[in-house]
Amino acid sequence: MSGRLMVIGLGPGDDRYLTREALAALEAADALYGYEPYLDRVPAREGQSRHASGNREEGARAQAALRQATDGASVAIVSGGDPGVFAMAAALCEEIGAGPPAWRALDIAVVPGITAMLAVAARAGAPLGHDFCALSLSDNLKPWELIERRLDAAAGAGFVIALYNPVSRARPWQLSTAFERVSRYLPASTPVIFGHAVGRPDETMTVTTLNAAGEIAADMATLIIIGSSETRVIARPGRTPLVYTPRAAEDALA
């Protein structure tokens, strides 16, 4: 008998971003695996086992879930945001690709979730209203030179840039270097959004400009959106500004 393995996106923050499909998938699981803060967001249910693991144990977590599913269980790995965006779905596929044939026979289902850049963009207005890219600023898994080349390519071609994993204790200088890098292509007045802990009680949103962005604090719970030269800000008396990128674009280099 072969079981089922689901990877379920919870969205960022609290439960407002949970989809119907995610709720049903959580109900259907015999066992839940995940990073502890994500598991803590799922109410306990009798008969459903829970297996918490650390932030950096994606490979071991995927292997444990795969083994239990191979024994016939319906197993779920829970993920913050969307599991397909810098999260557990790729880690799972890596393990399946390197693992025994039985893992390739399993029923695998990825349940998408609201990823942080969509939640932060919604809070700000519509900064992702035109072409954009998502880039992890962590150089744990790729060389910094590759990140710089991608920043050059994205900013130079007019993509709005969503930065995931902008800073950590072990990576203190990368974010300010990234702002300097894109400043070669973008005006100092380019809007930059810092969305911290979106969907949580301690959520904060900061709208600033590229030349001042280096002064704003950020951590691993921060999602940063760097506008393009087309991105605009509407000041609103007594309200946070609206940031948006128009649907139409000129060819500035033509």
> Looking only at residues 147 through 176 of this chain, which bind its own copies when binding is defined by CB under 8 A?
149-150, 152-154, 156-159
Nearest distance in Å: CB 215, its own copies: 26
- Closer residue to its own copies, CB minimum distance, 14 or 217: 14
- Interaction between residue 146 and its own copies (CB under 8 A): yes
- Name the nearest CA neighbour of 232 among 123, 127, 158: 127
**What is the distance in angstroms between the CA of the first residue and the CA of the last residue of the chain?**
61
- Closer residue to its own copies, CB minimum distance, 183 or 217: 183
Say how many residues touch its own copies, by CB under 8 A. Answer: 83
- Interaction between residue 84 and its own copies (CB under 8 A): yes
> Looking only at residues 90 through 109 of this chain, which bind its own copies when binding is defined by CB under 8 A?
90-94, 96-97, 104-105, 107-108
Other Cβ atoms less than 10 A from the Cβ of 113: the count is: 28
Is the separation of the CB atoms in 30 and 74 below 8 Å? yes
- Interaction between residue 86 and its own copies (CB under 8 A): yes
Among 29, 31, 77, 134, binds its own copies (CB under 8 A): 134
Is the separation of the CB atoms in 79 and 47 below 8 Å? no
Structure tokens at 20: 């119907």
Span of 45-53, 145-153, 187-195, 204-212 interacting with its own copies by CB under 8 A:
145-153
- Closer residue to its own copies, CB minimum distance, 214 or 241: 241
**Residues contacting 193, CB < 8 A, separation 6+:** 120, 121, 124, 127, 205, 206, 207, 224, 225, 227, 243
- Closer residue to its own copies, CB minimum distance, 102 or 217: 102
Find how far residue 79's CA is from the centre of its chain: 10
